[in-house]
Structure 1
Amino acid sequence: MVKKLNKMASKAKAAPANQIASAVKDSAETILRAGQGAFAKVQTEGQKVLETLVREGMAMQKKGQRAAEDKVTEMTTKMNRVASDITSQANTTWDKLETVFEDRVARALNKLGVPTNRDIELLTKRVEQLTAQLAKLGGKPVAVVKTSAKPVAKAAAKKAPAKKLASKKPAAKKAA
């Protein structure tokens, strides 16, 4: 369009004013018709374009919402994994600490001469065996003979756990 006007302007210098006015009028009419055609097209297709834009906007919103939900799910999964790992590590550490504590307490009790549950069970079985043998022989109770476990007996008698031990021994004493 601009080229056409430039050509007309160069011709206008050589042509009379009447021809210039006619060319300008033709150009203005062409522009006016183009504008009217665009306006008519917008009126007829404008609603369609608007509906299309609304649909595309809703699709974009849904896509964004899905992406956000996926990220939230992904982050929740990662956080659950991390929490599980930390819990597992804490439990493992706690178990190790508990084992170390139990071992140290057992060593300390052993140094003090406190018998273990196993020692008490073995002694109880032995007393039961001896009681059974005594009953077979005629049944008179015999005085208890001291053995080499003298520090154990003294330490057990002085300690609070000895009361627990004493509560386990009456079953054997009743039979004697």
Structure 2
Amino acid sequence: MNKKLTPPDDDEALAQAVRASARQIWQAGLGAFAKAQKEGGTAFTRLVRDGSELQRYAREVEDATETVSRSAERASRRGTSSWNQLEQVFEERVARALTRIGAPAAAEVEALQGRVAELEAQVAELARRLPPADEPEGKPEGKPESEAG
């Protein structure tokens, strides 16, 4: 069975646990202080040396990153420039080939499309002006459709 502590006992147990924890923290602090006093000079020197090495390494990494970035940017510019030149040469050659075989240029095709649209509008206007067409031939005049047969 679980034994339940009475409220005064709970307070006393809590106080003892806090005192024990505070004692351990105080002892750890004293131990760290003693160690720092004993190894103070060598530990500080070692930390400065380690910090200097890390700083040197960080500088080297930063320099290498900048070098790679600059190289990538130059390569990208050259690649883009070369691609643009290739595209221009291709377009010029295609245009010359189309001219040689007599293919119309884009502007000529657009002009023709505009002219066709104008002509269609004129034809539609003329069709509206024409009188209605006569009845189709082939039906006998004067006879009802049932007798024509």
- TM-score (normalizing by structure 2): 0.56
Query: Which 4+ runs in 1 deviate beyond 4 A?
Result: 47-50
**How do residues 70-89 of structure 1 correspond to structure 2 at under 5 angstroms?**
70-89=59-78
Please state how far the C-alpha of 1:48 moved relative to its aligned partner. Answer: 5.3
**How do residues 14-163 of structure 1 correspond to structure 2 at under 5 angstroms?**
50-138=39-127
Please state how far the C-alpha of 1:139 moved relative to its aligned partner. Answer: 6.4
Percent of aligned pairs sharing the same letter: 29
> Which AA in structure 1 matches 2:102?
G
Please state how far the C-alpha of 1:54 moved relative to its aligned partner. Answer: 2.3
Q: Deviations over 1:54-102 (max 9, x none)?
A: 2112211111111111210121022111101111111111111111111
> Which AA in structure 1 matches 2:114?
K
CA distance in 1, matches of 2:57, 2:105: 61
Higher helix share: 1
Please state how far the C-alpha of 1:107 moved relative to its aligned partner. Answer: 0.9
The runs of 5 or more residues in structure 1 that have no matched partner are 1-46, 141-176
CA distance in 2, matches of 1:100, 1:135: 46
User: Aligned with 1:138: secondary structure?
Assistant: helix
Greater Rg over alpha carbons, structure: 1
**CA shift in 2, pair 1:97/1:123, >3 Å:** same
Please state how far the C-alpha of 1:134 moved relative to its aligned partner. Answer: 2.2
**CA shift in 2, pair 1:111/1:121, >3 Å:** same
* Structure possessing the higher relative contact order (Cα contacts under 8 Å, 6 or more residues apart): 1
CA distance in 2, matches of 1:102, 1:119: 18
